[in-house]
Amino acid sequence: MRELELKYGCNPNQKPSKIFMKEGELPVKVLNGRPGYINFLDALNSWQLVKELKEATGLPAAASFKHVSPAGAAVAVPMSETLKKIYFVDDLELSPIASAYAMARGADRMSSYGDWAALSDVCDAQTATLLKREVSDGIIAPGYTKEALEILKTKRKGNYNVVEIDPAYQPAPIERKDVFGVTFEQGRNNFKIDESLLQNIVTKNQELPDAAKRDMMVSLIALKYTQSNSVCYVKDGKTIGVGAGQQSRIHCTRLAGNKADVWWLRQHPKVLALSFVDKIRRPDRDNTIDVYISDECDDVLRDGEWQQRFKTRPEPLTEEEKKEWLQKLNGVTLGSDAFFPFGDNIERAHKSGVQYVAQPGGSIRDDHVIGTCDKYGMVMAFTGMRLFHH
């Protein structure tokens, strides 16, 4: 098949809409549902991300995409019982690829609402079972077991989008797109991200353990498929905060850092002890937790409100408790798709436990950025390669 009609373009008024190949066959098959324009943008970008993560790390990889940027990405590493609980998967037996998706989606559950899922490996029944109970628009994978496909076809009243991609497909080296009737052309970004990028360590601290190298790979490959400007925080093989599409790099760093803080605060004992009413919807539970750990905590604890969410009225999470808990976050890796122009980015990153930094370098203020890293004993590698994505 060389052409596939889509539901509509970016918006319902943008019709007709299709994807097609000028030469050869489309590398994708729609096994269920009717994906739209943005669905396929998410699908093709997220597939490239997980494919490259698998190639770089040797581990099954997954991503949770929204609006052509990852809300989260992860490789299959062991999950603690605490993480299983905050990701709401402590009642499931998870395969490696299912674990990778659980961690990718759990990075930023608010943003992953209605996501597009991507898997580097064949989708199994355990991953399909996990997806079935989450709010999601669709999935792309190189294949599906018979049982997994049957499960996914029952989702969204039978309309869940399931796309299979040929893992051997190689795109043309030149890519084009039209904007306002003008055709843009460029060479495809085939730049390979691997550990050879991490040899130029510019800080006094030169100790870069293997786990940090893996996390740098996760951050850089995630950034390669994140709308720029972008910054990514990673810990233990998974993103914990992605700041995408900001005009200022410090705003990227703050946005992603705030998401990383929320991820960590969700593991606070008071949050883990929250006793929700029976049959509360998963999105409502996520929203409640997000408000509970925010400055708007009083909104969910006021009389007449908390009874709709909790079995018992919880104690508030104080600013002092949050500050004390956040100081325990450490060993985080920070990646940036372009150089840091000022040391303020490192100052903000330090507040979210960043120990390792990967960025292109090349700013006229590199010495200030390096000095700020040295102040906190961080390890920073200059990759020499910008990763803008638009």
270 is catalytic: no
**pLDDT tens digit sequence for 289-326:** 998 998 887 877 887 778 888 888 888 899 999 999 99
229 is catalytic: yes
390 is catalytic: yes
Q: What is the CATH number of domain 193-265+326-382?
A: 3.40.140.20
258 is catalytic: no
Active-site annotation holder among 39, 161, 229, 345: 229
With bands split at pLDDT 50, 70 and 90, how would you rate the model's confidence at 134? very high
Please calculate the CA angle 91-95-101 and round it to the nearest 5 degrees.
80
Active-site annotation holder among 66, 84, 224, 350: 66
pLDDT given for residue 36 in this prediction: 94
Provide mean pLDDT across the span 15-24.
92
Same fold, 3-170 and 193-265+326-382: yes
Quickly count: other Cβ atoms within 10 Å of residue 34's Cβ.
Answer: 14
- What average pLDDT does the structure give for the chain? 94
Provide mean pLDDT across the span 207-232.
96
Q: What is the pTM of this model?
A: 0.95
Domain 3-170 CATH superfamily: AICAR transformylase, duplication domain (3.40.140.20)
Angle formed by the axes of helices 125-132 and 96-106, to 10°? 30
Break the chain into its structural domains and give their ranges.
3-170, 193-265+326-382, 269-316
Contact indicator for 103, 78 with CB cutoff of 8 Å:
no
